[in-house]
């Protein structure tokens, strides 16, 4: 089955070093479009196609979770036209790809805040999440209206409420409690974070969860990402020695 036919089906398991969760900072859509003399929105649409290619190959490789940094809390500073376009991409994704997600047992989850997100976008996202909630295959995690610091603030407020109502004492707080207060504590931390376009920074992405993630900074702009590039990155990852702070 080629990438153009379906995505999300766990056909084979990845071998060697454990790779359960890959997270992507999808950078370079605007530059990709500019090089072609096209508006930034053209690049964002091409970026959605790249996301589909990555999902398809990830499903075939047996990856459990793929997270995409789709819209950050800082992206609201972009032009109203660009923001409106980005707000419509989840609508397009759910409308067009939900049948494939259901066919391939793929689950959609969202990481981020509802604040300021248009109702049409929220309704589409919730429809996708609700329809795929019972699926048990590849998890597509869209980080939408997401910021790592906001996530931690959200979690600290939840813990503060528990302290306030007396259900926990401050000295009882530990790493597990903090993790459990974040948006999706049920998914594993990313083993590998890939950022495209050659930029080498985290940009407020998964600040808590990335403590022991491996990083790969790909020179390709995000719309040029495909399954073959992904497999080359995974092969490089498999050569690394992950110590998790332990000396060997």
Please list the active-site residues: 27, 75
Report the relative pairing of strands 21-25 and 139-146 from DSSP bridges: unpaired
202 exposure class (CB count in 10 Å sphere: 0-12, 13-18, 19+): middle
| 51, two tokens | 């996301």
Q: Are 58 and 22 in contact (CB under 8 A)?
A: yes
Number of residues assigned to the chain? 248
For tokens 């998964």, name the residue.
206
Rounded distance between C-alpha atoms, residue 17 and residue 237, angstroms? 8
């Amino acid at each position: 089955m080629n990438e153009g036919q379906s995505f999300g089906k766990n056909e084979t398991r990845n071998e060697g070093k454990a790779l359960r969760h890959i997270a992507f900072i999808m950078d370079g859509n605007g530059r990709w479009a500019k090089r072609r003399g096209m508006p930034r929105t053209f690049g964002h649409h091409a970026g959605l196609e790249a996301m589909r290619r990555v999902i398809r190959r990830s499903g075939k490789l047996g990856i459990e979770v793929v997270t995409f940094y789709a819209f950050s809390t800082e992206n609201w500073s972009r032009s109203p036209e660009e923001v409106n376009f980005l707000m419509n991409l989840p609508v397009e994704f759910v409308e067009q790809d939900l049948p494939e997600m259901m066919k391939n047992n793929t689950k959609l989850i969202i990481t981020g805040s509802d604040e300021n997100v248009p109702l049409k976008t929220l309704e589409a996202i919730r429809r996708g999440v609700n329809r795929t909630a019972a699926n048990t295959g590849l998890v597509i995690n869209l980080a939408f209206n997401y910021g790592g610091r906001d996530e931690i603030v959200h979690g600290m407020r939840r813990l503060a409420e528990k302290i306030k109502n007396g259900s926990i004492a401050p000295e009882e707080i530990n790493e597990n409690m903090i993790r459990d207060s974040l948006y999706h504590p049920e998914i594993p931390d990313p083993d590998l974070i890939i950022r495209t376009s050659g930029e080498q920074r985290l940009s407020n992405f998964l600040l808590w969860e990335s403590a022991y993630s491996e990083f790969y900074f790909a020179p390709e702009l995000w719309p040029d990402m495909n399954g073959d590039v992904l497999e080359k990155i995974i092969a490089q990852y498999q050569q690394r020695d992950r110590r998790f702070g332990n000396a060997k």
